[in-house]
Structure 1
Amino acid sequence: MGDLLILTELVKMYGRFFQNVVKTISKISMMTTKRVDALGWKGLSPLQKCTAAMRMLAYGVYADVVDDYVRIDVSTAIECLKKFVTDVVLVFKSEYLRKPNLNDVQHLLQMGDARSFPDILGSIDCMYWQWKNCPKAWKWMFLSGHKGVPTLLLQALASSDLWIWHAFFGFAGSNNDINVLDRSPLFDEVL
């Protein structure tokens, strides 16, 4: 019963988050305005357009897959995806998609000190991400030793308040931690 309550709250929280993103982007974007065509038929709602874009991003599916779920044409879905990504970057870049400034670094260091980890900016982790749509010509370069499928390595650095302030994709094939850290721009930026 407790798990169901937690799951229900998570769905509510993410639903509110998604609706907030749609509402924020709708204020600045012509893509999300609902139009009426020459026959007087109402066009797609901002919610439909953003849902199509989010489904393509979240599940890594082609534009024609969202047609069944959202009732949107392939060309319109692709246009919505491009506009959605551009608008998200435009709206949220200054707050969420940026490198930490001096005040942020001081705040991160204070958070580390409060948790008995002095001089710590956050927690770094690397993971292999399966690349389902890897071009055939590149598959041999991105084969991972532990799964035998094309993968990309994702490096992320997050603080205890879940602010991901560094994310980096790259590195063909398997790499150990030393090689990953050596090739990553993380330390160049911080130092």
Structure 2
Amino acid sequence: MPLTKVFRRRFRMLKGLFERIVDDVTRECSFFQQRYDTRGTLGFTLLQKCTGTLRQLAYGIPPDALDESFRMSARIARDSLHFFCKTMIQFSGPKYLRKPTRNDILQLQAHHASVHGFLEMLGSLDCLHWAWENCPTTYYGQFTRGDHGHPTVILEAVVSQDMWIWHAFFGSLGSINDINVLNRSLIFNNIYDRFAPDSSFQVRGTPYKYGYYLVDGIYPKYAVFVKPFSAPHGS
């Protein structure tokens, strides 16, 4: 198997993206810069700390599991994970971890109208189940649903055509359904707080202030949801 495919399978990302992330966190956070400790021993390299962090994120392993492969204590592994997430949120948050602006909404709607034929659509909203292979026995029942048969963690996401994940709500119990996830999600908080950008449009004379999402049949009948026809008929 080519090394690029092995790297992507192990780290769940492309090697180029990994190298860019390593450069960013090293530049923005002094914790990842290699230095000597009080005994004069050279500490872990930035690649060791970032690799250990991504293994925790990609596989859900505990910090003390890195001792055998990296010779890294649980404290260093835990601190690496903490500073990595904190740095990425501070550095990349303003660009990637944000709600769409008015201009973003216009671009999203223009793309869906031209490519898919759905006017004023913001995107498709759905949930997926991420298998939790190392789920502790204590939580097995809470995260297991009958139609899956194994523990899962639910991710609710909305992704644009250029792979910008502008909404992600992760961590819900795998035993609940999409409606329960929606009730816990933060996707409509900006609408509740009246901070959502205005994207008014009309359908057959009825005005709507915000765009809509395509969803499946389990979702409630909200003005921001459009469901497919269960038995469509052509003209």
| Aligned-pair identity (%) | 35
Partner residue of 2:175? 173
Counting matched residue pairs gives 186
Given that residues 152 and 173 in structure 2 are in contact (C-alpha distance below 8 angstroms), is that contact kept between their aligned partners in structure 1? Answer: no
CA-atom RMSD in angstroms: 2.9
Say whether 1:74 aligns with 2:65. no
* Partner-residue secondary structure (3-state), 1:122: strand
Deviation string, structure 1 residues 65-123 (Cα, Å, up to 9, x no partner): 22333332221111111111111111110011111121111111111122133222123
CA distance in 1, matches of 2:94, 2:125: 23
Whether 1:162 and 2:163 are equivalent positions in the alignment is yes
Partner of 1:147: 148
Q: In 2, distance between residues paired with 1:81 and 1:53?
A: 5
Distance 1:73 1:101, change over 3 A: same
Name the structure 2 match of 1:49: 49
Residue 121 of structure 1 aligns with an amino acid whose one-letter code is L
Q: CA deviation at 1:7?
A: 4.0
Is 1:127 matched up with 2:128?
A: yes
Closer/same/farther in 2, CA of residues 70 and 126 from structure 1, 3 Å limit: same
Quick check: which one's helix share is greater?
Answer: 1
Determine the C-alpha separation between the residues in 2 that align with 1:37 and 1:97. Answer: 35
* Per-residue deviation, 1:188: 5.1
Answer whether contact 1:32 1:45 (CA < 8 A) is retained.
yes
Q: Output the CA distance in 2 between the equivalents of 1:106 and 1:84.
A: 33
* Superposition map of 1:1-191 within 5 A: 7=5, 14-115=14-115, 116-131=117-132, 132-133=134-135, 136=138, 138-169=139-170, 170=172, 173-175=175-177, 177=178, 180-181=181-182, 184-187=185-188, 189=190, 191=210
Q: Give the Å deviation of 1:174.
A: 3.9
Compared CA separation, residues 93 and 172, structure 1 to 2 (3 A): same
1:81, 1:22 → 2: CA distance? Answer: 13
Contact 1:25 1:32 in 2 (8 A): yes
Distance 1:179 1:29 in 2: 37
Q: Report the alpha carbon displacement of residue 160 of structure 1 after superposing the two structures with TM.
A: 1.2
1:40 counterpart SS class: coil
- The structure in which a higher percent of residues are strand is 2
Q: Which runs of 5+ in 1 are unaligned?
A: none
Bigger radius of gyration, 1 or 2? 2
Instruction: Give the 3-state SS of the residue equivalent to 1:153 in structure 2.
Output: strand
In the alignment, the residues of structure 2 paired with residue 74 and residue 182 of structure 1 have an alpha-carbon distance, to the nearest angstrom, of 35
2: CA distance, partners of 1:77 / 1:6: 25
1:96 is paired with a residue whose SS is coil
Q: Which TM-score applies when normalising by structure 1?
A: 0.81
Judge conservation of contact 1:145–1:174 (CA < 8 Å) in 2. no
- Any idea what SS the aligned residue of 1:161 has? coil
The question of whether the paired residues in 2 share the 8 Å contact of 1:35 and 1:42 is answered with: yes
d(CA) in 1 for partners of 2:4, 2:118: 31
For the Cα contact (< 8 Å) 1:122–1:160, is it kept in 2? Answer: no
Q: Relative to structure 1, is the Cα distance of residues 62 and 146 closer, same or farther in structure 2, using a 3 angstrom cutoff?
A: same
Using the TM superposition, name which of 147-156 and 57-66 deviates more.
Answer: 147-156
Q: Report the TM-score when normalising by structure 2.
A: 0.67
